[in-house]
Each structure stands twice: as structure tokens, then as C-alpha cells.
A and B are shown apart, each in its own frame.
Chain A
Amino acid sequence: MKLRYGTGEHEVELLGFDADAIHVRIDGRELAATLDPLADGGAILAFDSRRFRILGARRKGAITVAVGSSNYDFVSVEPGTRSGRRGLAAPEITAPMPGKVLRVMVKEGDAVTAGQTLVVLEAMKMETSLAAESAATVKRVLVSEGEMVDHGAVLVELSPAAPAGPSDSQGEREAR
């Protein structure tokens, strides 16, 4: 299975268990580790002379684990569902953290330039400006000011920037 953590993707395969060990293949590399279950639903996982206390659970379509006191949130990536959209570095502007939409700086149809602020979020007592990664046209604005949003919520959808000229932006609209 393919697991994504942050920006990294890893291929993990459980090859099997035997009397002493669990066998896995991670990104092509095989590894044997000992796995001793614990009463709390967790386990002790040991390999390469390191010993880790692991806990884990499913959570809203994701998998969350704790190794010692460190947390990891994984998303299982199904083969073939990776975003194939081209033309834009980021076709959707999503909330990097849960918070409140403080300001929406654009409206549908606006042409934006790379680095232009689209939405300002307030979270953790700080304002965070979310900007377009490349020149684009605002396709949809999905939030309004004052709204609370969760981590990963789509705030603004972008379509590739239309070359200069009113006829071209018209063409973009028709293409929808």
C-alpha cells in the first residue's frame, strides 16, 4: 500500500509474520522487526537495535499513529488516484490548518498573479496569507469571511491563467 505523510509518499508492504518477526518491505527495502503486542492495543516494535512503543488507529479516512510520544498522520493513497491535473502548481487553495476565514481578497473570474494573496486565515492567534502559486483565474470561491474551516478544506479553486485579452478569458468561461 502507498502511504502519504506530509509531502512524502512511501510504499509499504507487509510480507508476513513468523515466530520471531514481522517482515516488511518499505520503498523496496526489506526489513525484519520484532513485534510484541501490548494490552493497551499497542505494541513494542524493535529493529536495528532501536525499540519503539507504537499505538495507532484509523481516523476519518486517515491512519494516525504514535511512536513514543511522536504523532504521525498518514493518508492511504490508492493507486491511480493521484491528481493528474496539469497546468497549475496548485489548482485548489486549501486550508493548511483549521481556522477562521478572516478575509477573502478575490472573487470569481479574477485574474491573479503568482504570489498574490487570495485568502487570509486566522488560526493559532496568527494571520496566515494564502497565495496563488502561479498566475491563474479564480474559478470558484467556496468560503466567505467569518467562516470556520477545517484542515484541508478547499477555499478557492483556480483555473489556468488566461493569456492577456478579454476574448481569451471569455474562452475560459465557455470551457467550463
Chain B
Amino acid sequence: MSEDVEMKDQATPSHSLSSVPPSALQHLKEIASIIETGSYSKEVRRIARALRLTFALRRKLTAPVLSSFLDYVLPPASEPHTRLSSFLPNPKEGDREMEVDSSTSTIQTPAAKHLLPELEIYCYLLVLLFLIDQKRYDTAKACSSASIVRLKSLNRRTVNVIASRLYFYYSYSYELTGNLAEIRGNLLALHRIATLRHDELGQETLLNLLLHNYLHYNLYDQAEKLRSKAPRFEAHSNQQFCRYLFYLGKIRTIQLEYTDAKDLLLQAARKAPSAAQGFQIQCNKWAVIVRLLLGEIPERIIFMHRGMEKSLRPYFELTNAVRIGDLELFRNATEKFGTTFSRDRTHNLIVRLRHNVIRTGLRNISISYSRISLADVAKKLRLNSASPVADSESIVAKAIRDGAIDASLDHANGWMVSKGTGDIYSTNEPQLALNSRIAFCLNMYNEAVRALRFPPNKDKEKENAEKRRERHQQEQELAKHIAEEDDDDF
């Protein structure tokens, strides 16, 4: 084994001479040329591709690389160059020389005689990504603010794609420094601008950022008012749509509209990219609580997904307590994981669950006993109150009225008499279940059809073999990148 390793080590230099991997700077220059081409041909698709390539390169960004790239793209004495350079830490001279040396093969002239707005905004994005990754949050905040000021004066379709990413990191940098409320007015202004300019991707991103901003401070009422009045259109980005579904699910949960909330949260979890595990965990946490509030018991498999078991453990124990209908167990779970629930901001929802625990307990009792004294009901439910029998009587009466259990009360003797379990097939339940499942399948089919993308037919016959080959190559590349779409957003 050790010999093999040594042989490999010896073999490496001979290979490295023939195939030097292109440096990060080289990659950035290629991306710049893609952006340039996209800008001139007004192809938004190319800009989007450039951004995907950038996120793949994100970990390789260093101060010297960025500094060299800024020198390459921006005119040296220009205002953008000066401003962006000021955000970067001073690179060590040696590092910088090495970086420049490694790319001597490329032409050192700037990408264009006059600076393209797309490239300028792209530089802002690069610097911002670098600063956030380096945990220089205050500098990132200043950089993002400067980029937004510059963005407001631009109105180009090709800038919109980069702008939507910048909006996200603008909000993120303020969130990291704990000043999210400061930018609310600015985000609203940007949303208004995006709406007036028919920048739908920008609108989508900004609406989500505003919803996030409101929900960060638990301003559910304002969030719902904004959401209900914001213009609606087809989703452009899967990530943004997932986020929107999640935020809307949270709003609906707080507003006690549990059925809608459940659908929205489960849809968000399903649509989220598999790499966005943190997001899926959040969706599942809320979905579990909503299902419990609806009186459903989530399947055990939900808590057993790889990488989610630890995060969902408190919710699993909570589900167990609700399933059994044991108030004591429920109380223990809420005390044991109280800090987790507070951190997840689900504590108030869990307080609401107490009612469901009692209902489940009552249902279990009514199935098990044909007749049981109210004192025993109170004991089994573990009602800790001054007058448990009186409490259990009124609780049972309400459960009967709401249709949770099929029983009657005998006040004189102080007991609950359960009625025989009816045949569910003589009710409308099976039809309702069938209908909801069919509706779900049809909805999924319709969404799939709507999501299909068809290539434009115009000028197809004029296409020669070479162009066709080039187009196929581009399409394959695009498909490959879409598969690994920028999951780091989540």
C-alpha cells in the first residue's frame, strides 16, 4: 500500500507539466467573457449560466484572485475599481504576483473598452460572496449597500439575473449583522422598482426577502398583507418558489389555517433540491406540527430520513406524546426540548397542541371503554387542575359536540358512555379521501405539464449542421448545470 502511494507521488510531477488545471482567475475570466457575450447578445440564459459557474468556483475565491480579476475587468482608475478594491483586504505582494504569473498566458487587456454594467455588478457579487465567506460581515454590509445603490440606476434585462442574487446577499449580510429591520424600506422600494420594470425574477426574490424580513420579527400580519397585495405570476426560480411556499405555510399555520399550511409546507419540502437539507428540515419541523394540530399522526419514516434524525428528534418525541394522548409525556417533552422549540420558534404552536393531546387521549379512552367514570377519565388524561372531574366533564362534552368522539354523558352517575364504533364505509369519508388523492395526482400532472420547456420553433430550418452541433453542446452543458443548480442558496 505504502509503495503504491509513493509511486503515485512520484508520478504526479510528470502529469502536472502536461495538464495544468486552470486557475480560479482563469475561470473567472472565462465567466467574464460569457457575461460579455450574454450582454451583447441580450441572452439572459448566458448570464444565468455564468452565475452557476461562479457558485461552483466560490470556495476558490481569494483576495489576490479577486484583486487581479478587478484589475482585468475594471478600468484601473475608475470609481467602481477604487470602491471595490477598498472592500478587499490588502493582499500580500508575493501572493498577488504568483497569481498573476500563473495566468500570463491570457491577454491582460480589460474585457471591454467601456465598462459593461453586467460586469460591474458581477464584480460586486464576487466581492460580496468573498466577504461573506471570510466572515467580514460589516464590510459585506457596506459592499452590498453600495451595490444596491448602483443597481437602482440600472435597467437592463441582462443585469436582472445578477441583481436577484445581489438582493439575496444584501439581505443576508444585514441579517448576519443583526440589522435586518433597517433594510425593509429599501427592499420595498426595490420591489416597487422591479414591479415597474417588469423584472419578475427580481420581484420574486424581493417578495421572499420581504416575507423573510417580516417573519424574522414575527410580523405575520404585515407579511400576509404584503403577500396578498403583491402581483402574482408564474414562478421563475424553483428555489424562490420553494421559499415562497415555506413562508406562506408558516403564515397560514399562525393563522390557524392548518389544511392549507400542511399542503404548502409539504409541497415546499418536496420541491426543494435534495442538497438543501437545512431547508427540508425546517419544512418538516413545521409540517409535523401542522399535521399534529390537524389531528393527524405523521409517519415514522419522516423522522428517519438520513441526516434529519437528530434535528427532528424533539418533534418525534412530541409526536409520540400526542399519539399516545398522554399529557404528562407531552409536558415532559415540551420541558425537555423547550430551548429547541424556542429556537425553532415553534413554542407557541406546541402550546396549542395540548388540546390535541387531550383529544387523542379521549379518543383512545372512548374506543377502549364502553363506560367509564369521569374521575377515571381525568386520571387517565392526567388533568392537573383544581376540579379534575368538572374539567373532564366539560372537556368530554366539547369533544362530543365537535365530533371527536361518539359518546354521551350521564351527569347523575358521573360517567361517559361510548357508542359503538360505526362503519366508516357508510359515511362520506372514503369518497373524500379518494377525491383528495385524485386531486393531488391531477394537480401534480398539471404542474408537470406546465413546467415543460419547449424550444422556440423560429429559424430552426435555417440552422446548419455546425450551429446545430454547437446548440446541442450548449443544451447538454445547461442540463448538466441545471441538475446541480445553486443549492447553496438554502
Tell me if chain B binds chain A. Answer: no
